[in-house]
Structure 1
Amino acid sequence: MSEPVAIDTEELGLFGPDSVTWQVHADPALWLGGVRSLYLQALHPRAVAGVVQNSDFRTDPLGRLIRTAEFVGTSTYGTLTQARAAGAAVRRVHRALRATDPDTGEVFRVDDPELLLWVHCAEVSSFLTALGRAGCPLTRAQADRYLHEQRQVAALVGLDPAEVPGSLAEMSAYLRGVYPVLRRTAGSDVIYDFLHRPPVRGWLALGVRVYEPTVSHLAYSLLPGWARRLHGRRGYPPALTTAAARGLRATAQVVLPRLRREDSSAQPAFVDAMRRLGDWAAPSLDRLPAR
């Protein structure tokens, strides 16, 4: 096994192998967290209006999921230059987008800091929830450290890190504060239906029947009760949700390493980081920082 030798900050990227982020972002449970976050994001009327009015998700159903996964991968495992370039690309796209508030008719910027903060918090809190329910053991101190680390990603998309929740307590306070704004809308219904039945064609359509109960509705069921009540749909029972999330993660832990070996285009930032740094940098829950 190779040993680390004189690696500079550029090569380590935003986080490096001594971070919580580096270890847990390789976990397959993050895919469930990513889908959960889209359900949660959709409950903010302006955030979902920005997606529905600007995104091409109906004609490119996998595009947004893939782009989000690529950004998470690059910001985690890319070099500093790659992470900053990915952030600049996101800011450039958002800067040009506008949407119309369906209630007031007001035109607003998609890169409004309030909306960027909501999307960030929905995403990272969903990652933590999925990891925990699927059996990835994070202590409270490790979860706090993870949220603190993720402030660097928030900065990439244009937020002031000091205004982003950096602990579980701060995240809970943020979610309590934003709750009165959240509700079910026509836009959230569109996202709910889309995530359950993405309009894919050909051989991909055959997988939707498996995807809907095993990934989509499972990710929905990971939402907190208050979010499912706002959506107005039931999830799986909590015990079934936890058991299914753990089973799916266990299966993916067998399949994913093989996929990475056979197809270098799968999670390219991760594969490149392993080549760049060596075997010593391979993510492992055994290497999670104690504090």
Structure 2
Amino acid sequence: MRRNPRNRPVEAEDIVSEALTLAGGGRALLLQIANPAVGWGVAEHSDFASRLMDRFDGTMLYLTATMFGSPAERAAMRRVVNRAHAPVRAEGTPGGPAYNAYDPELQLWVAATLYQTVMDLHRRVFGPLTPAQEDRAYDELSRALSNLQLTPDRWPSGRLAFDTYWERMVASLRVDDDVRAVSRQILFPRRVPWWLRPTLPLVRLVTGGLLPGPVRQEFGIAWDDRRQRRFDRAIRWTAAVYPRLPLRLRHLPRERYRAKLRRAVRADHVGGGAPRPSGER
């Protein structure tokens, strides 16, 4: 692993290993459901209100399997997700779009939000990578995130092409009342551990600040100069402190989920009791 003197991750695996990636979870999820087809599937088949932490846990377990799991662990998680996706489909109606969780284009959007969020956070806290490092990270992450029905050839052919795809997709995002109600369950969860509750205002601030402005408006997230200044201060503080933390501390969440993944597969819980990806019952 090649790092600079500030323990900066520059390889895709190292970037995703950082606890910093957890800070982008809300942002990625809101971007995902702002795609009308994804949003309607989640609105019809999710239970965020009662199981937000389980949903988050399941998503992180799947991402861990994708990036760090053995072939057997990745295969097990693919089976879990495919089973969960099976009922998530509907024909289009006058009130809403068609959706199908097996649609590779929708899976591309979900994967794209993960890639773009991880890289956006990395730039904000560590500064920009070199163009060669950016290209290598895109190639590695797009391959790693090509799972289920999504194959690597469906990704835009290179980082610049991805940027064009990203701008086009963000401009097409729309949020209706049903999806907006799901977003409130995510931003203002009712059932979270007591020790997490004091952090929720900061989580909402960071999530709102990381979203593109038009998407923030679609969700009706209040934003003004004062909130922007608070968000900017939070990012500056994180950039000053986080890179200097010990690597073992920065990698604790990764190690936790790797251990959890191994236990789930070893105990044959993946097919039954393991957490499921967010958005599925």
Preserved contact between residue 97 and residue 109 of structure 1 (Cα < 8 Å)? yes
Letter in 2 for 1:150: L
Consecutive unaligned residues in structure 1, runs of 5 or more: 1-17, 273-291
In the alignment, what sits opposite 2:37? 46
One of 228, 239, 244 as aligned partner of 2:234 = 244
Corresponding residue of 1:111: 102
Match of 1:268 in 2: 258
Structure 2 unmatched runs, 5+: 1-8, 263-281
User: Quick one: which amino acid aligns to residue 232 of structure 1?
Assistant: G
Equivalent of 1:193 in 184, 196, 207: 184
2:206 corresponds to: 218
Asked if 1 retains the 8 angstrom alpha-carbon contact of 2:90 and 2:100, the reply is yes
| In structure 2, distance between residues paired with 1:108 and 1:265 | 35
RMSD: 3.3
1:48 Cα offset (Å): 1.0
Aligned mate of 1:84, from 70, 75, 99:
75
AA partner of residue 147 (structure 1): Y
Q: CA deviation at 1:182?
A: 1.3
Distance apart, 1:183 and its partner CA: 1.0
Amino acid at match of 2:196: G
Q: Check 1:48–1:252 CA distance in 2 against 1; reply closer, same or farther (3 A cut).
A: farther
Contact 2:19 2:250 in 1 (8 A): no
CA distance in 2, matches of 1:181, 1:40: 11
Deviation at 1:106, TM superposition (A): 5.9
How far is 1:256 from its partner?
A: 8.2
More relative contact order, 1 or 2 (CA 8 Å, 6+ apart) = 2
Shift, 1:218, TM fit: 0.8
| Cα-to-partner distance string for 1:197-221 (whole Å, 9 max, x where unaligned) | 11115xx24632x222222321221
Residue in 2 aligned with 1:158?
149
Corresponding residue number in structure 1 for 2:85: 94
* Secondary structure of the corresponding residue to residue 50 of structure 2: coil
- Distance in 2 of aligned mates of 1:179 and 1:259: 30
Q: Which residue of 93, 111, 135 maps to 1:120? A: 111
Question: Does the 8 Å CA contact 1:135/1:246 hold for their aligned counterparts?
Answer: no
Percent of residue pairs bearing the same amino acid type = 23
Q: Which residue of 1 aligns with 2:172?
A: 181
> Do the aligned residues in 2 keep the contact of 1:74 with 1:269 (CA within 8 Å)?
no
TM-score, normalised to structure 1, is 0.73
Q: So what's the TM-score if we normalise by structure 2?
A: 0.75
Q: 1:99 to 1:244 in 2, by over 3 A?
A: farther
Summarize the Cα distance change of 1:42–1:108 in structure 2 as closer, same or farther, 3 Å threshold. closer
Once the 2 structures are TM-superposed, how far is the Cα of residue 80 of structure 1 from its aligned partner? 2.7
